[in-house]
Amino acid sequence: MTFIMYLALFLLVLGLVAVASNPSPYFAAFSLVVVAGVGCGVLMGYGGSFLSLILFLIYLGGMLVVFAYSVALAAEPYPEGWGNWTVLVYVVVYLVGVMLASGLFWGGWYEASWVVSDEFNELSMFRSDVGGVVVMYSAGGWVLVVGAWVLLLTLFVVLELTRGLARGTLRSV
């Protein structure tokens, strides 16, 4: 299990480097979906299965909208991929930065601190991630309503900005 979690965390960092280093919206949006999937897998590996499922469904729906907008607005016939030299230089620079940062903090990480959230709740009737969702909806329900209104406002702002000169969102940039 530890090897799988190390592999998932490595894929998470590699996916984040792919998102940060790619100038083309096609590949960057795809990398972001992969990072969301791997991040939800890491969350599920540590005991947050319900929260991971909800986060993945919401994030995947949002990323589908972002991917549709980025594909509609990108008018590149030959987008830069991960094989181009400019993108490869960014990938190498980011990976060296991640290795240097991990070398600075390597001595403080211990495997004993990586426990599943439900490991010490033998006699509990509730899972920890479901209890967190209950608290989020009961005590923080107004934050969810405000967040929904902000997202709706953002959608209208993006639609208005990408509309152009009354030609619709599907246009040649």
60 shares its domain with 107: yes
Are 157 and 85 in the same domain? Answer: no
Q: Do the domain assignments include residue 11?
A: yes
Domain residue limits at 162: 140-173
Residue-level pLDDT at 96: 92
- Read out DSSP for 2-28? HHHHHHHHHHHHHHHHHHHH---HHHH
The letter for the amino acid at 82 is: W
Q: Are residues 111 and 150 in the same domain?
A: no
Q: Give, as one character, the DSSP assignment of residue 163.
A: S
Q: Same structural domain for residues 106 and 39?
A: yes
Tens digits of pLDDT across the chain (173 residues):
778 888 888 899 988 888 888 777 777 777 888 888 898 888 888 777 777 887 888 877 777 777 777 677 666 667 777 778 888 888 899 999 988 988 887 776 655 556 666 666 666 666 666 676 777 777 777 887 888 888 888 877 777 766 655 555 555 55
Residue 130 lies in a domain: no
What the block records as the tokens of 116 is 């599943």
How many residues in the chain?
Answer: 173
CA distance 167 to 73: 13
Supply the pLDDT for residue 51.
Answer: 77
pLDDT reported for residue 161? 67
Report if residue 90 sits inside a domain.
yes
Indicate whether 112 and 153 sit together in one domain. no
Number of domains in the chain: 2
Whether residue 120 is found in the same domain as residue 144: no
Neighbours of 116 (CB within 10 A): 13
Same structural domain for residues 15 and 100? yes
Q: Is residue 45 part of a domain?
A: yes
User: Are residues 81 and 164 both part of a single domain?
Assistant: no
Whether residue 133 is contained in a domain is answered as: no
Asked, for residue 73, whether it belongs to a domain, the answer is: yes
* Max Cα–Cα distance, the chain, nearest Å: 63
pLDDT at 146: 86
Amino acid at 74: A
Which pTM value belongs to this model? Answer: 0.64
Q: Give the span between the Cα atoms of 96 and 58, in whole angstroms.
A: 33
Residue 131 lies in a domain: no
Angle at the Cα of 91 from the Cα atoms of 90 and 93, rounded to 5 degrees? 65
Give the number of other CB atoms < 10 A from CB of residue 48.
23
* Alpha-carbon distances of 31 from 17, 39, 64, rounded to whole Å: 9, 12, 12
In-domain check, residue 120 = yes
Token pair belonging to 8: 């998932």
